[in-house]
Structure 1
Amino acid sequence: MTNAPIKLLIAASGTGGHLFPAIALAEKLPDYEIEWLGVPNRLETQLVPKQYPLNTIPVEGFQQGFGLASLKILAKLIGSIIEVRRILKQGKFQGVFTTGGYIAGPAVIAARSLGLPVVFHESNALPGKVTRFFGPWCNAMALGFDAAAKYLPKAKNVCVGTPVRSQFLAAEIPPLDLTIPDNAPLIVVFGGSQGAVAVNKFVRQAASAWLDTGAYIVHLTGDRDPDAGIFKHPQYIELPFYDNMAALLRRATLAISRSGAGSLTELAVCGTPAILIPYPFAAEDHQSYNADVFTKAGAAITDKQSELTAEKLQTQVLQLLQNPAELTKMGENAKAIAVPDSADKLASLLREVLES
């Protein structure tokens, strides 16, 4: 019995920003028995079952206002708490790890009601409402940015950075399977795991001027872009997604991106200079807080979507392409923000909480 592995339930759901750090942590705990807690029909149903048993609960986030829909969501929340308690008790789990989002609520409540320790990782510079509410309930708060510390209980904060997918830290990264000349500037456009339709429109309107300089563009549109396929050029490569992001961002001369914490972490590890366009409808505008960290560090330029035009974006990119020294400096500043051993630090913190 003393040699039995520690059982850990990881509650991470929805987007790559929540899932990839949790998967990176799990890979650092090969001696643990790990199961996953997710939501039906979300990204975890594609990524997790290949590696870990997946339990799902029908929890949803509360929207503005209060009405019949809110009562249904509340009923689901209560049912989810009961279900997570059952999973934890029957599985004889010894702790819970979560990366936030609305799945964290039932996970934290159920765990703490059973006296189980919880470690919470918050990747954003402005912690979400769920994080701020449940932070005091947890045994440790692992932070992606130092800037988040002022919003949370000081005694529990440990800044560890945000773990990246293992492909970004591999000794040998597979080469790009895209036809791009070695000496050509490369602009990479991506909007995180869900794409960014508004950014895509700006890029297509501005792209011709960039291509005229000899630059290549790899444009990752996501799978919800109604205009996909309308712009064509020999130097313009449009894909919904691309698996080898580590190689792509290392090769990039410049990235144009949203500023979700996961995307920023990948940019930092790869030392990729960027123009950031925070998603304006993100909860409490938290992507702007993330982008601010990079802008203040000299690693990126930030544009508010409401103030951006295709002409402005076109000019910014052309100016940067004409200033390689500035791009190099931005890349160095991005590298300085990176915490390449974040997953190791987070795993050490989790072991300290669960095994002490």
Structure 2
Amino acid sequence: MSNSESVAITEQPQRFLIAASGTGGHLFPALAVAEVLEAEQFQLEWLGVSNRLETQLVPKKYPLRTVPIEGLQTRIGPKTPILLGKLAVAVWQTRQLLKRGQFKGVLTTGGYIAAPAILAAWSLGLPRVIHESNAIPGKVTRWLSSICTGVGLGLEDATTYLPKDKTVVVGTPVRPAFLTPCELDLPIPPEATLIVVAGGSQGAVSVNKLVRACAPAWLETGAWIVHLTGAQDPDAQSFQHPHYLSMPFYDNMAGLLQRANLAISRAGAGTLSELAIASTPALLIPYPYAAEDHQAFNAAAFVKAGAAEMYRQDELTEEQLKQTVLQWIQEPQVLEEMAVKAYSLAVPNSTERFAQLILEQIEASP
């Protein structure tokens, strides 16, 4: 073999598969870690589902492969054989992808895409690392973490439910923009109290309705409101005011949350990580239909730290919401104390810590 051939072989990039699908809570941490792995000269490909958010976010940066997979039901029902059949096909397809591409390992951020990724990598003896951002781990994390080579956790609370010898609390990686000060390109006076309302990547129509009912009272104090309604709210433009800015989405979330004095928000793990790193106090309204009520457990960790208050959606009244926010507006020192406590929950180097866990698993692999 010539020297030139030897150099060409040794410089060939190592390939790594990332399996992340569905919501921003799964995708944004994976995208953040992907940048670190790319800097380490890994050639990345992505595993997802054909009708989920990854089809919009991932192909701009990485090749996207899709498999047919749906969430597995906890109880056996009429659809169980169909779902198991889809899982078997997805595992086989993922296994073929890993073999053909000579991948060095798999990273997943949970959800049902994690099952075929972990099982396929396990069958080939490849490193398989999962990240669980919620306080209550999802079903796939609980079922399959024992056959993973590494488990990164966003919150300490999750260690109760998983094998202690596998887990490392690394925090939840956030988008790189959150790690540096960002300017806000909206016409909000620097001295004005800013309330940000965000229902997560799916929006929150019921919360939107409550906020619009309360908005006049908040605006009377001189506050401004940026309301991210999501794309599914038919009444999104039903309330108008010069200091009330309503839009389906907003790209510069880092700048928005860094400027916000308080947020009214769902309690997905990714959202909470961004609130923490941006030092944003919050009134949290957990999504009531989240699997195993995990958003309420996430929110409870922030309430315990003094960084937020939590209200259940079915119990929250217009008057409660209005008065809680009015009280905070009138007592800015309370918000300042909550901001400090929110940042105490942040892990600014979570991306690097999780990437290091992945690299250690790859290095330890035969």
The normalised TM-score by structure 1 is: 0.97
Q: Report the AA paired with residue 267 of structure 2.
A: S
Kindly provide the amino acid, as one letter, of the partner of residue 22 in structure 1. Answer: A
SS in 2 for 1:305: coil
Deviation (angstroms), 1:73: 1.9
2:45 maps to a residue whose letter is E
Q: For 2:10, what is the secondary structure of its paired residue?
A: coil
1:249 corresponds to 2:257: yes
Aligned residues: 354
- Alignment partner, residue 105 of structure 2: 95
Instruction: Find the aligned partners of 1:349 and 1:4 in 2 and give their Cα distance.
Output: 23
CA deviation after TM superposition for structure 1 residue 69, in Å: 2.9
SS in 1 for 2:242: coil
Task: Report the equivalent of 1:153.
Answer: 163
Tell me by how many angstroms 1:179 deviates. 1.5
Aligned with 2:144 (options 130, 134, 139): 134
Structure 1 residue 5 corresponds to structure 2 residue 13: yes
Q: Structure 1 CA distance, aligned partners of 2:232 and 2:309?
A: 26
Partner of 1:320: 328
Which whole-Å deviations, capped at 9, do the CAs of 1:228-263 have from their partners, x for residues lacking one?
111111111000000000110011011000000000
Q: Which residue, out of 120, 134, 148, partners 1:110?
A: 120
The reply on whether 1:169 has 2:173 as its aligned counterpart is no
Q: 1:85 aligns with which of 95, 107, 113?
A: 95
Residue identity opposite 2:143 in structure 1: F
Q: CA deviation at 1:68?
A: 4.1
SS of 1:94's equivalent in the other structure is strand
Report the equivalent of 1:307: 315
Pairwise CA RMSD: 1.1
Other-structure match for 2:57 = 47
Report the 3-state secondary structure (helix = DSSP H, G, I; strand = E; otherwise coil) of the residue aligned with 1:248.
helix
- Tell me, in whole angstroms, the C-alpha distance in 1 between the residues paired with 2:252 and 2:274: 12
Between the aligned partners of 1:269 and 1:69, the Cα distance in structure 2 is: 41
Which amino acid is 2:298 matched to? Answer: N
List structure 1 segments (4+ residues) > 6 angstroms apart after TM superposition. none
SS at 1:306's partner residue?
Answer: coil
Deviations 1:213-241, CA, capped at 9 Å, x for gaps: 01010000111112111111111100000
Q: 1:16 offset after TM fit, Å?
A: 0.1
1:227 maps to amino acid: D
Q: CA deviation at 1:206?
A: 0.8
Aligned: 1:279 with 2:262: no
Q: Give distance in 2, aligned partners of 1:14 and 1:6.
A: 26
Q: 1:200 matched to which residue of 2? A: 208
Q: Which stretch shifts more, 57-66 or 293-302?
A: 57-66
Distance in 2 (CA, whole Å) between partners of 1:5 and 1:122 is 28
One-letter identity of the residue aligned with 2:318: A
Of all paired residues, the percent bearing the same amino acid is 59
- Name the structure 2 match of 1:262: 270
For 1:111 and 1:18, the matched residues in 2 are separated by 19
Q: Which runs of 5+ in 1 are unaligned?
A: none
Tell me, which stretches of 5 or more residues in structure 2 are unaligned?
1-8
User: C-alpha displacement at 1:129, in angstroms?
Assistant: 1.0
CA distance in 2, matches of 1:25, 1:299: 26
Residues in 2 aligned to 1:145 and 1:63: alpha-carbon distance in whole angstroms: 25
User: What amino acid maps onto 2:19 in structure 1?
Assistant: A
Q: State how far apart, in whole Å, the 2-side matches of 1:257 and 1:233 are.
A: 21
Q: Secondary structure at the match of 1:8?
A: strand
Give 1:194 deviation, angstroms.
Answer: 1.0
| Paired position in structure 1 for 2:83 | 73
The one-letter amino acid of 1:105's match is: A
1:355 CA drift (Å): 1.5
Q: Distance in 1 between matches of 2:132 and 2:335?
A: 29
Q: CA deviation at 1:168?
A: 0.8
Asked if 1:59 corresponds to 2:69, the answer is yes
Report the AA paired with residue 87 of structure 1.
L
Q: Kindly state the Cα deviation for residue 2 of structure 1 after the two structures are TM-superposed.
A: 3.3
Q: Give, in angstroms, the shift of residue 70 of structure 1.
A: 2.7
- What CA distance in whole angstroms lies between the structure 1 residues aligned with 2:268 and 2:313? 14
* 1:128-168 deviation per Cα after TM superposition (whole angstroms, max 9, x unaligned): 11110011010111000011001000001100000000111
1:335 aligned partner: 343
Q: d(CA) in 1 for partners of 2:109 and 2:74?
A: 23
